[in-house]
Amino acid sequence: ALSIIRKHRLWEVFLVEKLGFTWDEVHEIAEQLEHIESEKLIDKLDELLNFPKFDPHGDPIPGKNGEFMERDNQLLSQIPIGSSAICVGVKDSSAVFLRFLDKNNIALGNKMKIVEKEEFDNSLRILIDQKELQLSQQIASNLYVKKIKL
């Protein structure tokens, strides 16, 4: 199972980095490519991509021997008001959610600060690149972040 996950995630990286696909387009194509059985091809793909540790959605890519890096992630919805974080992954990798993120310029690597949490519905007001954005609790519960100090 880890071999299939490894191939799938490497193909996603390849499709985004080398062929210019967007992160919402790659899942279905990678599902087809993950069934290629050539271990040599996958090793060369890994090398070509400079041995990535994470796919375009922030999920860890298992190494050839099944090892992979774990991240100490939290959901954005769990971060306290006033805290800063960096976006490191998505819980929901559906095309519709990823297109929403693109439309709102939310991407892996974005630094954000939690400005306010609405008591009524737990929605968040955040700052991303000096731009204020209101996010629903559903959206905030589908973004993985790592707390940082600014």
**pLDDT tens, position by position, 4-55:** 999 999 999 999 999 999 999 999 999 999 999 999 999 999 999 999 999 9
Q: How confident is the model at residue 130 (pLDDT cuts 50, 70, 90)?
A: confident
CATH number at residue 24: 1.10.10.10
pLDDT tens-digit map of 59-104: 899 988 888 877 778 999 999 999 999 999 999 989 999 999 999 9
46 & 91 share domain: no
Q: Which of 4, 8, 143 is nearest to 85 (CA)?
A: 143
pTM of the model: 0.82
Q: What pLDDT shows up at residue 129?
A: 83
**55 and 22 fall within a common domain:** yes
Domain count, the chain: 2
Out of 35, 69, 103, a domain closes at 69
Q: Dihedrals φ, ψ of 138, to 5°?
A: -65, -45
Using alpha carbons, select from 8, 1, 12 the residue that is nearest to residue 66.
1
Strand partners of residue 36: none
> Same domain for 26 and 80?
no
Q: Which domain holds residue 117?
A: 74-148
